[in-house]
């Protein structure tokens, strides 16, 4: 078996020598003084050669002016086929374009911003297909008050993974240093549906997790039983001395008088 390798076309000498023509074509596109030294030529095909020139524009570091020349068979005159600015191997390029739905990060949504969801968003399913303890009551659908779409199993699993591995899960530094877990905290409020098996909402205003979804095995220093402060002892009631007294003037009475004979004997 024989194998054939593609042979690169030879560089056309007439086109390779037309450096001045290629430079003038690049200078017609560039700002004055932005076409630098020649960087070489490359054969694109038979009678088709591209000249490269250094780009001196500060905003296009590593880019090259590329001017492609051609000629008709047996002609000795080169013609400009194309002139463009192309990035070189070490060119400074803009980041690859990413759709907005992939660029958006938690917390990016501001006041007045709208975040549309795709019609085929896998995190959501039509509300009438929901079953189990997370579903709306059927009566609501009969009245037309139900939600058009509800959380799908994929959406629920994504939320569980995100919450459990986040800063309000069991592996955060706060949880590892906590004296006890949220499952035993009096400030934990249980959620509804199947998520109540793993998560609750913190209702302690002094906790960094206040108002946040926390896993049962999360924890913080504001645990309700971390350190119970003893109630201060009640001060004793003051004793008021209500005992009074009356000043009595003592005067001798007739019964207390000394008999005259006794006075003489004394």
**What pLDDT does 137 receive?**
55
Instruction: For residues 160 and 142, state if they share a domain.
Output: no
What pLDDT score does 243 carry?
Answer: 66
Q: Answer yes or no: do 64 and 125 share one domain.
A: no
Structure-token pair, residue 251:
């005067």
Domain assignment present for 19: yes
* φ and ψ at residue 54, rounded to 5 degrees: -65, 140
> With a cut of 50, which residues of the chain have pLDDT below it?
1, 266
Residues 25 and 81 in one domain: yes
Q: Can you give the pLDDT at residue 102?
A: 79
Predicted pLDDT at 169: 93
Nearest C-alpha neighbor of 146 from the set 161, 162, 135, 132: 135
| Residue 216: per-residue pLDDT | 95
CB-based contact 165:175 (threshold 8 Å): no
Query: What is this structure's pTM?
Result: 0.47
DSSP secondary-structure letter at 197?
G
- In the chain, the number of structural domains is 3
H/E element, 79: strand 79-87
Is 74 domain-assigned? yes
Containing structural domain, residue 145: 120-151
Same structural domain for residues 142 and 201? no
Out of 64, 87, 110, a domain closes at 87
Asked, for residue 5, whether it belongs to a domain, the answer is no
Residue 20's pLDDT is: 94
Q: Check residue 266 and give its pLDDT.
A: 47
């Amino acid at each position: 078996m024989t194998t054939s390798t593609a042979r690169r076309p030879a560089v056309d000498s007439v086109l390779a020598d037309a450096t001045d023509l290629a430079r003038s074509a690049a200078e017609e596109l560039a700002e004055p003084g932005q076409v630098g030294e020649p960087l070489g030529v490359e054969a694109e095909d038979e009678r088709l050669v591209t000249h490269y020139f250094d780009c001196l524009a500060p905003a296009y570091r590593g880019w090259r002016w590329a001017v492609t020349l051609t000629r008709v068979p047996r002609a000795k005159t080169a013609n400009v086929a194309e002139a463009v600015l192309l990035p070189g191997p070490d060119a400074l390029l803009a980041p690859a374009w990413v759709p907005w739905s992939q660029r958006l990060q938690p917390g990016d949504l501001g006041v007045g911003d709208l975040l549309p969801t795709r019609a085929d968003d896998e995190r959501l399913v039509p509300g009438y297909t929901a079953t189990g303890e997370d579903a709306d009551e059927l009566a609501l659908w009969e009245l037309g008050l139900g939600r058009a779409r509800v959380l799908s199993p994929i959406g629920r699993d994504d939320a569980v993974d995100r919450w459990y591995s986040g800063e309000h899960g069991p592996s955060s530094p706060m949880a590892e240093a906590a004296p006890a877990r949220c499952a035993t905290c009096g400030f934990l409020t249980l959620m509804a549906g199947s998520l109540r098996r793993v998560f609750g909402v913190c209702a302690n205003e002094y906790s960094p997790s206040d108002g946040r979804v926390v896993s049962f095995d999360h924890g913080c220093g504001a645990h309700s039983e971390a350190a119970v402060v003893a109630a201060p002892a009640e001060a004793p009631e003051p004793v008021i001395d209500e005992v009074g007294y009356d000043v009595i003037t003592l005067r001798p009475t007739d019964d207390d008088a000394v008999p005259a004979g006794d006075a003489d004997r004394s």
